[in-house]
């Protein structure tokens, strides 16, 4: 403990600060670093950021009822002008060797009558501090952390949605005991799918075993907000700051009226680097994919990938769910095999290389593949062998009914009789013994099989659905429950969301229903999606390209790029859109502190020909795209999803893509079907 010249004490250890807080706060007191969220009895933490110094908001926090104030002692290292936002943790840690903690103490506002303490090197301790103060709330919750460039929001929503749907069907929630830690990975009602248009074969002992009672409802923490899907509270960050995160865990644990059992949270790369999740007991880590994004922060794809991989060395990890179709899976599985806790590894893969499996045709199907497809399949098998269990969805190109399989990774090597590394992973012909052995393994591989239809658009969403299924498996669900969960999925708001005409504006009954909208050509099909990276745009547009073809129309994309973010991806986004869309509309996203016209110019550098339209006013761009579309066309509005504001020059203006798109449909298409020529 260091002491200042004026007698103020710096509490260095989190346990010492916890004791100080408990002495000065009521039992309901929270730890808050945003002065706008301070309530009566809370402790306000005045932290240092790149743009603002929390000490300037002490008076506001006290006025709102703060019972105590904790001030981070400024160190010269963490006040450097070029320090990146969030790097305070590293900077303060480096400065802890400097004993002159009190050289530049911030001046307290006059008249502050609440206890104040000054703490050096506070940034690196926030997560552990909050976890200790709240008495380790995440330990009694099943926390599933999902990381990846794309798919985090959909995956977390579907994890929680599945938990809640199962709870509604079975009513088997078990009260969460504050002294009971989260469950061990795996083993999970003998309840069979109620409505299921397909075959389910579940013969493995543990895959068809009785499931444990649910610990409570599922909630999400992420881009769209916090809480139960469909009733979210927006908090601003994909991964909240350490104090907010642990406060949320405490809130979930304390909810006795609607107990929470599973928390599906988005783990952003920046949040991981900044240590926002420190102190969290993570049960399952999920990896979706890695493509270009956030290089303005990380600097390189290598550093970006390393941030994602770091989640899989989390000390409390009991299980990991990994997309075996992504190149980063190899590194992640290496890390997991070195993990001292030996977490269970569940791999997943959407296989569209050769459709649904057919008995006796595997070798012929492999030989018929092109080299790329063959390489992907070979890599999948090599990774599957290193997993404890694998979920594979084989897509049938000729129908919407696909085949889901769940099998132990251990069956793959013997099944395929893999020769030396580098050779084709296809069993060579052999004697009767080898054929018999292969048949046995084949039977083992197909002991858990189901045919199903997924109510989602696009291959990427099928991957996200499998990621959710892997998380359910890690929580103890059996195979029939997983199949039922997938069968019940419905789209996530702002993710491939179909915008319908307002009910009062629909001329034909049922026309506004999303299912009808896909097949109906009474008006353009308008879709809102959060896609804001080149890869995400490619995936979404590829799915909509097929739909546009079925409708006999063209595909238009309205998109922009965010300000104060990776400028290098802007032309790449344009190239991705131009490669698939018939018409390109470049507009503003969240310009933030940049000139919208300059952002648009940066984006257009990636186009081989002028955009169909450039328009800085996003609302005007949306209206024009919908107004000038033909009835059979598909219009994608990409980048913001269900965001409710647009940030321009530091001001957050109310803005909703779905709302403005619905208004445009009502304005231009409500009366009757009409033909509009392409401009």
Annotated binding site: 35, 148-154, 238-239, 268, 274, 276, 565, 589-592, 639, 643
Q: What are the angstrom distances between the C-alpha of 369 and each of 116, 316, 372, 379, 495? A: 69, 42, 8, 14, 32
Contact 233, 119 (CB under 8 A): no
The CA distance from 196 to 37, in Å, is 46
Mind spelling out the 3-state secondary structure of 599-648?
HHHHHHCCCCCCCCEEECCHHHHHHHHHHCCCCCCEEEEECCCCCCEEEE
Chain CA centroid to CA 106, Å:
38
Contact criterion met (CB below 8 Å) for 164 and 228: yes
Beta bridge partners of 499: 526
Strand partners, 497: 528
* Residues of the chain by 3-state class (helix, strand, coil), percent to 5: 35, 20, 45
Q: What are phi and psi of 614, to 5 degrees?
A: -120, 135
Burial classification of residue 491, based on how many CB atoms lie within 10 Å of its CB (0-12 exposed, 13-18 middle, 19 or more buried) = middle
The angle, 0 to 180 degrees and rounded to 10, between the axes of the packed helices 126-133 and 14-24 is 50
Q: Distance of CA 204 to CAs 443, 447, 478, Å? A: 11, 6, 10
Backbone angles phi, psi at 428, to 5 degrees: -85, 160
Binding residues for meso-2,6-diaminopimelate: 565, 589-592, 639, 643
Beta bridge partners of 651: 648
Q: How many residues does the chain have?
A: 679
Q: Which helix (H) or strand (E) holds 597?
A: helix 596-604
- Binding annotation for ATP: 148-154
């Amino acid at each position: 403990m260091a002491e200042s010249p004026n007698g103020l004490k710096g509490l260095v250890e989190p346990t010492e600060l916890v004791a100080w807080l408990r002495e000065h706060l009521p039992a309901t007191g929270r730890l808050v670093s945003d002065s706008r969220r301070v309530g009566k009895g809370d402790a306000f933490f005045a932290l240092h950021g790149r743009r603002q110094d929390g000490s300037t908001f002490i008076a506001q926090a006290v006025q709102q009822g703060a019972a105590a104030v904790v001030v981070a002692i400024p160190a010269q290292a963490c006040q450097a002008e070029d320090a990146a936002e969030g790097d305070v943790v590293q900077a303060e840690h480096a400065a802890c060797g400097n004993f002159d903690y009190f050289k530049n103490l911030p001046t307290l506002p006059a008249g502050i009558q609440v206890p104040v303490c000054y703490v050096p090197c506070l940034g690196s301790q926030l997560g552990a501090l909050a976890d200790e103060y709240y008495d380790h709330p995440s330990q009694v919750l099943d926390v599933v952390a999902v990381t990846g460039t794309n798919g985090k929001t959909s995956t977390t929503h579907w994890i929680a949605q599945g938990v809640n749907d199962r709870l509604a069907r079975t009513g088997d929630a078990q009260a969460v005991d504050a002294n009971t830690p989260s469950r061990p990975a795996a083993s999970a009602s003998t309840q069979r799918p109620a409505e299921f248009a397909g075959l389910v074969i579940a013969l493995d002992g543990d895959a068809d075993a009785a499931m444990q009672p649910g610990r409570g409802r599922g909630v999400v923490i992420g881009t769209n907000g916090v809480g139960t899907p469909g009733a979210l509270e927006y908090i601003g960050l994909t991964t909240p700051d350490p104090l907010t995160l642990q406060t949320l865990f405490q809130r979930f644990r304390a909810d006795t009226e609607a107990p929470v059992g599973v928390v599906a949270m988005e783990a952003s790369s920046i949040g991981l680097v900044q240590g926002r999740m420190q102190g969290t007991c993570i049960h399952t880590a999920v990896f979706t994919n890695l493509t270009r994004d956030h290089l303005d922060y990380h600097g390189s794809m290598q550093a970006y990938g390393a941030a994602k991989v770091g989640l899989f060395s989390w000390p409390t990890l009991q299980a990991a769910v990994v997309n075996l179709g992504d190149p980063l899976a190899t590194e992640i599985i290496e890390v997991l095999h070195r993990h001292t806790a030996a977490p269970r590894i569940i791999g997943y893969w959407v296989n569209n290389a050769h459709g649904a499996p057919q008995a006796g045709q595997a070798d012929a199907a492999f030989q018929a593949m092109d080299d790329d497809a063959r390489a992907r399949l070979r890599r999948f098998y090599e990774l599957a062998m290193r997993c404890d269990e694998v979920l594979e969805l084989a897509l049938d190109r000729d129908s919407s009914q696909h085949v889901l399989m769940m099998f132990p990774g251990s069956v793959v090597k013997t099944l395929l009789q893999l020769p030396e590394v580098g050779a084709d992973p296809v069993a060579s012909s052999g004697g009767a013994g080898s054929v018999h052995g292969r048949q046995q393994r084949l039977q083992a591989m197909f002991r858990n099989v189901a045919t199903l239809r997924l109510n989602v658009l696009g291959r990427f969403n099928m991957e996200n659905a499998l990621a959710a299924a892997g998380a359910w498996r890690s929580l103890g669900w059996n195979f029939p429950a997983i199949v039922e969960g997938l069968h019940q999925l419905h789209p996530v708001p702002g993710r491939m969301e179909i915008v319908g005409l307002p009910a009062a504006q629909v001329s034909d009954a049922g026309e506004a229903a999303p299912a009808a909208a896909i097949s109906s050509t009474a008006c353009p099909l308008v879709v809102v999606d959060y896609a804001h990276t080149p890869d995400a745009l490619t995936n979404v547009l590829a799915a909509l390209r097929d739909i546009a073809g079925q409708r006999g129309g063209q595909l238009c994309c309205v998109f922009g790029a965010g300000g104060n973010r990776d400028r290098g991806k802007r032309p790449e986004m344009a190239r991705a859109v131009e490669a698939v869309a018939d018409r390109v509309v470049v507009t503003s996203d969240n310009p933030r502190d940049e000139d919208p016209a300059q952002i648009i110019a940066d984006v257009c550098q990636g186009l081989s020909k002028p955009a169909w339209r450039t328009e800085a006013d996003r609302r005007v761009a949306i209206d024009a795209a919908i107004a000038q579309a033909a009835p059979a066309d598909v219009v994608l509005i990409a980048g913001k999803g269900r965001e409710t504001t647009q940030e321009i020059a530091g001001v957050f203006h109310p803005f909703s893509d779905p709302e403005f798109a619905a208004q445009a449909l009502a304005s231009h298409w409500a009366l009757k079907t009409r033909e509009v020529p392409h401009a």
